[in-house]
Amino acid sequence: APEKGLEDAAAAAAQVGLPLAVWGLREDPAYAAAVEASVPAGTLQWRGFLPTAELQAQLGRCRALLNTPKWNEAYGNVVVEALACGVPVVAYRRGGPGELVQSGLTGELVPPDDVDALAAAVGRVERIERAACRRWVEQHASREVLAERLEAWLQAGLNRP
């Protein structure tokens, strides 16, 4: 979908000469075709919709996840999913992903809509320790951590006068 900013991720991948794996359904075939036509043949590798375990296995082999939303996403599940697989995230400093990615530790944040900065950041992800990505999820976004936060939030609400 256009709000995901696939054209930016594709342009950055083309700039650095790497393929871009794309998972999920092509909700807008005309948009997908336009993005594909804008980059060298073979840049986009359409993977379709996969069972979770297969998606995680494929994602875990990636150099990085490029997160290029054109709007302020509230959270960014895909960012946490990639980090849980030990995959650094290169994302626009926008919305939830801008708060989830720790530049230099779990990936790189770049100015929104800056394809050149996105491409440059892809070149730096090799410095990121993949185990640090997984550790960050365990410390900040695991079920246990989120359950503790929810419990504290509910308790605070119950204790209000």
pLDDT at 160: 80
Instruction: Single out the residue of 63, 70, 8 nearest to residue 35, CA to CA.
Output: 8
Question: pLDDT tens-digit profile of 23-41?
Answer: 999 999 999 999 999 999 9
Domain ranges of the chain: 2-158
pLDDT at 60: 98
Q: What is the model's pTM? A: 0.92
Of the candidate CATH numbers 3.40.50.2000, 3.40.630.10, 3.40.640.10, 3.40.50.2300, the domain formed by 2-158 belongs to 3.40.50.2000
Q: Which residues contact 79 (CB under 8 A, 6 or more apart)?
A: 65, 67, 89, 91, 96, 97, 100, 101
Which pLDDT band holds residue 1 (cuts at 50, 70, 90)?
confident
d(CA 117, CA 111) in angstroms, rounded, equals 7
